Structure 1
Amino acid sequence: MSKLSPRQAPAQETIARRDAALTRAKLLEAAIDEFSNEGYSGARTERIARLAGTNIRMLYHYFGSKDDLYVAVLEAVMADLRHEELRLDPEAEEPLTGLLHIADFVDHHFATHPQLRKLLAFENLNEARHLARSNRIPEMSSPVIALIRRLLVRGVAAGVVRSGIDALHLYVAMVSLSYYGRAHAFTLSRIFNKDLQAAAWQKAHQKMTRQMVAAFLTQAP
């Protein structure tokens, strides 16, 4: 058996790393689909491996266990949300505009990522047992709250945002306004005999909630 030349060896290593990264990414993508559709208890690792076009041995090689894979899924979907939010440069935006942009980012992300909504719902039912195992998610969240806090401070100093607003309370309110009407759209549509998933209804609701955030930020209580 011939040995690899010095030039061939690094090329083979690069291909192996690329193949490994691709396999891991496919497993993670399949796991996001499976866990968001079935929840933690209903999800099956064998099905995830099959959907990813690989085998169960590779799944455990890259992720260790079903628990670890689920934590990786939660970290991936939360990192995607944080990436969108942190694209905003607080120094380049007028404070009120920047805060409303964050609200827009949050609304758009929950609108276009139903898997995130489902995963959060399942994890809430499980009392955040797996979220508690992640060190990355709190680390990802801290910069967002710090960003909002800086915008609030600048807005108060400029006289365009009222004082006394807590950054975390504000962020949770933004998420609530963006999340609830979508996460519970099926039940609310039945209760009120109105299609809350219709594009026109969602657009009108987003406009109203944006006005609510703007009014809260600028009007004295």
Structure 2
Amino acid sequence: MPSTTVTATKQEPTRRQQLAGRTRERIFRIALKEFADKGFSGARVEGIASRAKVNIRMIYHYFGGKEALYVEVLEHVLARLREAELAVALDVEKVDPAVGIVQLYDFTESHFSAHPELLCLLSWENLNRARYMKRSKVIPVMSSPVLDKLRRLIERGETAGTLREGIDPLHLYVTLVSLAYFHKSNAYTLSHMFGTPMLTPSWQAAHRKQAHALVRSFLVDEAVVKDAFA
């Protein structure tokens, strides 16, 4: 008698579940924009519900309240950054260390350009001294793959003598993020103060070129570092 095999099939979501999923996603997308534009204090549950065309009670039903929704938004944008970092096509065992580090800067700068909501949310959280980020159990374990890549590139460069000695991976990571962040997060005020439209592609490209030169000088020239701390 031939044997029979039982094939497990994934149960398709019901129409009601599909509608619920779409409603939750719509609330979330609108909340992300509201929080990015206005911060936690400025955003209103009433406004989010109105724009999502749902009853306020639905926000509490799906997310548990304004604070829980905001924390989930923070977790989402940082998780998306980590996913993008993991996807960076960079062979840290073969690429020239200085070239690899500049490429990691380019990745960070490009991600900030593509996701201005991340810049806004980080700025709001810094104003609040990471008050709501501290309430997330997920964010503290989102270690950055970029930091690990930098550490390995520095090790290889120091061993080969192509990078100066004593570069701290975390300090370098913060420096790269700073160079990729400030001219975007503060572009509106700086543009007004100096009468220069800093968000134009040409200005951003020129700034990226300058950042490349700064990073390369820091990585290879011991005299640059000594002069900076003299």
Q: Deviations over 1:163-221 (max 9, x none)?
A: 21111111111111111111111211122121112211111001111221122122223
Kept after mapping to 1: 8 A contact 2:85/2:145 = no
Residue number among 114, 123, 126 corresponding to 2:125 in the alignment: 123
What's the TM-score once normalised by structure 1's chain length?
0.86
Residue number among 142, 145, 160 corresponding to 1:143 in the alignment: 145
Measure, in 1, the Cα distance between the counterparts of 2:144 and 2:137.
12
Measure, in 2, the Cα distance between the counterparts of 1:161 and 1:46.
55
Kept after mapping to 1: 8 A contact 2:158/2:164 = yes
Kept after mapping to 1: 8 A contact 2:27/2:52 = yes
Residue number among 70, 90, 109 corresponding to 1:107 in the alignment: 109
Q: Deviations over 1:117-167 (max 9, x none)?
A: 111111111111011112322211343322321222122223322221111
Structure 1 equivalent of residue 210 of structure 2: 208
Measure, in 2, the Cα distance between the counterparts of 1:208 and 1:127.
31
Structure 1 94/42 Cα, relative in aligned 2: closer, same or farther at 3 Å? same
Q: RMSD of the TM alignment (CA)?
A: 2.1
What residue identity is the alignment partner of 1:65? Answer: G
- Give the CA deviation at 1:50: 3.1
Deviates more, 1:44-53 or 1:78-87: 44-53
Kept after mapping to 1: 8 A contact 2:45/2:66 = yes
Structure 1 equivalent of residue 195 of structure 2: 193
- Give the CA deviation at 1:34: 0.4
Task: After TM superposition, list the pairs within 5 Å mapping 1:61-76 onto structure 2.
Answer: 61-76=61-76
Residue number among 178, 184, 187 corresponding to 2:186 in the alignment: 184
Between the aligned residues of both structures, percent identity stands at: 46
Structure 2 equivalent of residue 95 of structure 1: 97
Greater gyration radius: 2
- Give the CA deviation at 1:42: 1.1
Q: Deviations over 1:71-98 (max 9, x none)?
A: 1111111112222222234346443332
Measure, in 1, the Cα distance between the counterparts of 2:61 and 2:80.
24
Structure 2 residue 159 is the aligned partner of structure 1 residue 163: no
Structure 1 183/142 Cα, relative in aligned 2: closer, same or farther at 3 Å? closer
Structure 2 residue 39 is the aligned partner of structure 1 residue 39: yes
Structure 2 equivalent of residue 4 of structure 1: none
Structure 1 10/196 Cα, relative in aligned 2: closer, same or farther at 3 Å? closer
What residue identity is the alignment partner of 1:115? Answer: E
Structure 1 equivalent of residue 135 of structure 2: 133
Structure 2 equivalent of residue 54 of structure 1: 54
Measure, in 2, the Cα distance between the counterparts of 1:93 and 1:57.
53
Measure, in 2, the Cα distance between the counterparts of 1:157 and 1:33.
46
SS in 2 for 1:141: coil
Q: Which runs of 5+ in 1 are unaligned?
A: 1-8
What residue identity is the alignment partner of 1:38? Answer: K
What residue identity is the alignment partner of 1:58? Answer: M
What's the TM-score once normalised by structure 2's chain length?
0.83
- Give the CA deviation at 1:16: 4.7
What residue identity is the alignment partner of 1:146? Answer: D
Measure, in 1, the Cα distance between the counterparts of 2:40 and 2:73.
11
Measure, in 1, the Cα distance between the counterparts of 2:141 and 2:73.
16
The count of aligned residue pairs is 212
Measure, in 2, the Cα distance between the counterparts of 1:197 and 1:213.
22
Deviates more, 1:92-101 or 1:162-171: 92-101
